[in-house]
Amino acid sequence: MTFLSLKNVTKAYGSVPALRGVDLSVAAGEIHALMGENGAGKSTLIKILAGVVAPDTAEISTEGRRVEIGSPRRAHRLGFRFIHQEFNVVPALSVAENIFMGRRYPMRGGMFVDWRKLNEAARETLEKLGISHINPAQALGSLSLGDQMLVRISSAFIGEEGGPARLYVLDEPTAALTRSESERLFTVLRELRANGASVLYVSHRLDEVMDICDMATVMRDGRSVDTGRIADITHDDLVALMIGRRVEEAYPPAQAVPRDETVLSARDIPIRDGQPISLDVHAGEVLGIAGIANAGQRNLLRTIFGDLPSAKPMMLGGKSYRPRSPADAWRAGIGYIPRERRSEGLIVSRPIFENTTLPHLASQSRWRTMLRPRREKQLAEAQGRLVRLKASSANQRVRELSGGNQQKVVFAKALAGKPRLLLLDEPTRGVDVGAKFDIYSIIRDMTAQGMAVILVSSDLPELLGMADRIAVMRDGAIADIVPAAGLTEDRLLNLTYGRVAGN
Amino acid sequence: MLTLLRRYGTLIGFAAILLFFWISLPETFMTARNWLNISQQMSMLIVVAAGMTIVMVMGDFDLSVGSMASLAGIVAAVLLTLDYPIWVAISLALLLGLAGGAINGALIAYVGILPFVATLATLTMLSGAAFVVSGGKTISGRAIPEEFGNFARGGIPLGEWGGVAVSLPNLTVVALVVVVLVWVLLEQTTFGRRLYAIGGNIEAAHLSGVAVRKLKLIAFALTGGTAALAGIMYASRVASANPTQGSGLMLNAIAAVFLGSTLSEHGEPRLLYTILGVLVLGVLDNGLTQLSVDSYIRQILVGGIIILAVSTSSLTKGLRSR
């Protein structure tokens, strides 16, 4: 039985159409995937469902009755619940307070919050997700990002005032979750489905979608292009539908073998919150770094990049290297793609060319001081072509670009100084399939020219597809370094959890 | 239409104000003499607002510029009464401004105090220091050499206008020089570009190799320097110094930057727009004074206009993003 039906939804922002005609139908007791590249219109559609954005035209009905959504309040009353990419939380408040935010707190004597009852209710909510390791009285900000997301998710599952929840809309819920955390979420989603609720699930992770969803609707350029049963469609078909052409291989083949020449050599370098680390990266090599969340990957990269102090010098290109700041690292020929592109990688209010040249500004300027914008724009345009950036001009503000193209600007910036070592922290997170392939191709091109790459990723197929060797981090130490060839996903996963020995 | 209002609302308002004064004061308002007069009256504010723009580009601000101007004026005047040469008095007062600004910068960038708190504290200290150094009195009279006061009264002759000799006031020339220097600094150098990067996203700027702390310190030092210069200009103009004479500068400078940023395409502080903001304030002040509007009423009007300009810009922005 159809719970939610949308017909001919259109929406334009000014003269720019975001939705040109979307049909979507979600049955009760179904997990329905909404797929499409960044910019296909998924977010706009979800905002319309949430009552935040008003459509230009739309026929929306629930259980066969025509409805107008109009406001977030109305959406809530219709039984719609939303879990967004960006979470609205207050880090200084406790887990329980965040879960029950916007809802009535249990009271005592009509005046005082019954904290014990509140914490108890929060504990029960969390347990529904199989979460027992989070203390409801703890400040939310003290939790890991993954745990914070779990708390956020759990708060959407509370049965409550204003009618029962009928449809859960999840937008990239697993972006910050580890595999086991994601698994727990999936268990809950299956439970909800068994109870007759509908789930609209947005994710770039195809494996997840293939695993837990029943149906999929694919959007492209503001239209719904196809709807079908997941069981009837292959991974490759889905990708082809999303990007409108077939992609032969998920990972472009390596063009050359790594050379013997060592680019970076670290020996017993102490890492904050971790143990001393030794590793070598060679010219033309991709060294993958695997590990569960917070196993020390980020601090390792930040130490090499000079953002965290290094107690001992490393060797870079045969010379002693001990950076005291990111500026030192850029100067020494290291490029860095940080994990959070909007908060760490980009200045979205500034033009593409200013972002591209920022680390290399002195070398682009006269007497290292006076700006030469024309030259900067030429460099930015050349770099933009290299990374297959789609933008109207080098003057365009980064804010106006899609997620995949924003990430390409981060690459353009890192590569503009022709680095000999590139540090990548989750370079394809939240990036659509087409842009992902472009990014992998860029990495291949760069290694073919002799650049060394360190790739931190929680996406195991990505590590297996791109890396030559994989260093497995556990508890702030490198536990194993193994060749990627012949390694399976299962074995790599077991290594990250320390269930088997390397070699 | 809305975009037009957001982008040009302040300009349209400015044009309306000009028209109003032109009609109300047909004899005196649109004359070269009056405009040169406005430029002189505004020269101190232009210098402070230019300095304020430097830190506001980074998303910070400096509340201490007014009391820094007062203290610098006092220090210059006291040194003159002690028979130091004029160039020594001016240099030391300027150095004091740079040093005071650098202290602001150090507190904000290296100690990590919020700009509001840090510069509020230095505002209080500098203002107290101005009273201590001056003994709470206005320093004036014969102890201050005539050349010092004559500088502000002088100018570059421009010829005759309607039978009256007009000249470009020296203080206006100083303000123009400061504007050119700050404009080059902010718009044409790597320093300015990096400040804008810090203002856009401080973490991304840091990870892109921008030496955030060092640049903040330098930026605040420069702002302190411009405040001191304005204080010296004021002392020269009235050939005296009192410990509160810079007090109106800070709010007006911040107001000018805000007014100006409503004009810039992306709502960020840009120097030339700041100068337009100063001009709006200056014209209002000049016109209302000529119409003999009470100075307290003037304050109310100026505050209202700032609210109007900034809210037009932010309301129309909100509508557009819907």
Confidence category of residue A361, pLDDT binned at 50, 70, 90: very high
pLDDT of B322 reads: 36
B214 in contact with A at a CB cutoff of 8 Å? no
The 3-state secondary structure of B270-294 reads CHHHHHHHHHHHHHHHHHHHHCCCC
pLDDT at A498 over 80: no
Confidence category of residue B113, pLDDT binned at 50, 70, 90: very high
Which residue from A343, A359, A362 is facing B208, i.e. has the nearest CB? Answer: A359
Determine the average pLDDT of the residues in B208-223: 97
Give contacts of A419 with chain B, Cβ < 8 Å. Answer: none
pLDDT of A22 reads: 93
pLDDT of A503 reads: 44
pLDDT of A502 reads: 46
Mean pLDDT of chain B: 91
From the candidate CATH numbers 3.90.1010.10, 3.40.630.40, 3.40.50.300, 3.30.565.10, the one assigned to the domain spanning A259-333+420-503: 3.40.50.300
pLDDT at B24 over 60: yes
DSSP one-letter string for A451-494: -EEEEE-S-HHHHHHH-SEEEEEETTEEEEEEESTT--HHHHHH
Confidence category of residue A326, pLDDT binned at 50, 70, 90: very high
Which residue from B193, B209, B322 is facing A327, i.e. has the nearest CB? Answer: B209
- Is B190 close to A336, i.e. CB distance below 8 A? no
pLDDT of A257 reads: 79
B268 in contact with A at a CB cutoff of 8 Å? yes
pLDDT of B320 reads: 43
Tell me how far apart the alpha carbons of residues B56 and B219 are, in angstroms, rounded to a whole number: 10
Determine the average pLDDT of the residues in A459-480: 91
pLDDT in tens, A387-443: 999 888 999 999 888 888 999 999 999 999 999 999 999 998 878 778 888 999 999
Give contacts of A397 with chain B, Cβ < 8 Å. Answer: 266
- Is B207 close to A344, i.e. CB distance below 8 A? yes
B207 in contact with A at a CB cutoff of 8 Å? yes
Farthest CA pair distance, chain B: 65
- Is B209 close to A325, i.e. CB distance below 8 A? yes
Nearest CA in chain B to A308: B207
ipTM field: 0.90
pLDDT at B233 over 70: yes
pLDDT at B321 over 60: no
A361 in contact with B at a CB cutoff of 8 Å? yes
Percent of residues, chain A, with pLDDT higher than 70: 95
pLDDT at A73 over 90: no
- How far is A53 from chain B, CA to nearest CA, in Å? 8
pLDDT at B189 over 70: yes
Work out whether strand A277-282 and strand A107-108 pair parallel, antiparallel, or are unpaired: unpaired
Tell me how far apart the alpha carbons of residues A156 and A21 are, in angstroms, rounded to a whole number: 29
CATH architecture of B32-146+167-315: Orthogonal Bundle (1.10)
Window 269-328 of A: residues touching B by CB (8 A cutoff) are: 305, 307, 325-327
B204 in contact with A at a CB cutoff of 8 Å? yes
pLDDT in tens, A308-317: 999 899 999 9
pLDDT of A84 reads: 67
Determine the average pLDDT of the residues in A25-49: 88
**Beta bridge partner(s), residue A315:** A265, A320
- How far is B1 from chain A, CA to nearest CA, in Å? 12
Place of tokens 């695993």: A211
- How far is A287 from chain B, CA to nearest CA, in Å? 22
B321 in contact with A at a CB cutoff of 8 Å? no
Classified by CATH at the fold level, domain A2-243 comes out as Rossmann fold (3.40.50)
pLDDT at B185 over 80: yes
Determine the average pLDDT of the residues in B215-222: 98
pLDDT in tens, A103-115: 778 888 878 888 8
pLDDT in tens, B142-170: 788 989 989 988 889 888 877 778 889 99
- How far is B190 from chain A, CA to nearest CA, in Å? 5
Identity of the residue numbered A395: N
Domain boundaries, chain A: 2-243, 259-333+420-503, 348-418
Give contacts of A362 with chain B, Cβ < 8 Å. Answer: 190
- Is B204 close to A346, i.e. CB distance below 8 A? yes
Determine the average pLDDT of the residues in A267-284: 93
